[in-house]
Amino acid sequence: MGSLGRLIKEFWSHVVYISVIIWLVYFLMENQRVMLEMDQSLKSRELDIQALKLENSKQAQHESEELSASISKIQLLNTKIKHLSDPDESQQFTKKNMTFFLHFHKAGGTTICQLAKMAGIHANFKKNCNVLPDQHCCGRTVEDQRSFVYEYSDKYDLVASERGLEDEVDFEYFNYVTILRHPFLRAQSHYNFVKDYYFGRPKNYIIFSEPLKRLNKMDEFEKVKLAKKMRVNITRLPDIAANMLKPLKTEMTTFGTWLKCQQDNYFTRMMCGRKCSQIVRGGLNKEHLQVAKSRLAKFDAVLILENFEESLLSLTHKMGWDFRRMGEKSKVFNAGSGKGSDYQDVIESSRELRQLFTLDLELYRYAMYLNQRQIEEVVYRPKFGRLSHFCKKFNESSLEVGGDSPRSCCCEKCSFW
Q: What is the SS3 assignment for 49? A: helix
Asked, for residue 351, whether it belongs to a domain, the answer is: yes
Same domain, 109 and 211: no
Contacts for 45 with CB less than 8 Å, ≥ 6 apart:
none
Same domain, 278 and 350: yes
Higher-confidence residue of 120 and 200: namely: 120
Domain of 289 in residue numbering reads as 93-199+263-383
Same domain, 230 and 369: no
What is the number of domains present in the chain? Answer: 2
**pLDDT of 168 strictly over 70:** yes
Quote the pLDDT of residue 279: 94
Quote the pLDDT of residue 74: 43
**pLDDT of 332 strictly over 60:** no
Over residues 209-225, mean pLDDT = 87
**pLDDT of 316 strictly over 70:** yes
Asked, for residue 18, whether it belongs to a domain, the answer is: no
Higher-confidence residue of 180 and 153: namely: 180
Quote the pLDDT of residue 336: 47
Over residues 234-259, mean pLDDT = 77
Same domain, 215 and 316: no
Same domain, 123 and 98: yes
Quote the pLDDT of residue 247: 60
Quote the pLDDT of residue 54: 61
131 close to 152: Cβ distance less than 8 angstroms: yes
Q: What is the SS3 assignment for 95? A: strand
Quote the pLDDT of residue 389: 72
Quote the pLDDT of residue 386: 79
Quote the pLDDT of residue 325: 66
227-239 in b/e form (b: 16+ CB < 10 A) is: beebebeeeebee
Asked, for residue 97, whether it belongs to a domain, the answer is: yes
% of the chain exceeding 90 in pLDDT: 42
Quote the pLDDT of residue 84: 35
- CA atoms of 177 and 300, how far apart (whole Å): 6
Quote the pLDDT of residue 110: 92
Beta-carbon-side half-sphere exposure of residue 200 (alpha carbons within 13 Å) = 8
**pLDDT of 37 strictly over 80:** no
**pLDDT of 373 strictly over 90:** yes
Same domain, 179 and 222: no
Over residues 207-225, mean pLDDT = 86
Same domain, 195 and 210: no
Same domain, 221 and 284: no
Same domain, 190 and 207: no
Asked, for residue 356, whether it belongs to a domain, the answer is: yes
Quote the pLDDT of residue 71: 46
Asked, for residue 79, whether it belongs to a domain, the answer is: no
% of the chain exceeding 70 in pLDDT: 69
147-185 in b/e form (b: 16+ CB < 10 A) is: ebbeebbeebbbbbbbbbbbeebbeebbbbbbbbbbbbb
Quote the pLDDT of residue 6: 72
Higher-confidence residue of 58 and 106: namely: 106
Quote the pLDDT of residue 81: 41
Quote the pLDDT of residue 404: 54
Higher-confidence residue of 2 and 345: namely: 345
**pLDDT of 406 strictly over 80:** no
Same domain, 296 and 335: yes
Quote the pLDDT of residue 17: 73
| pLDDT digit string, tens, across residues 301-314 | 999 999 999 999 99
The least confident of 139-153, 326-340, 382-396 is 326-340
| pLDDT digit string, tens, across residues 287-296 | 999 999 999 9
Counted residue by residue, the chain has a size of 417
Quote the pLDDT of residue 237: 85
Same domain, 359 and 273: yes
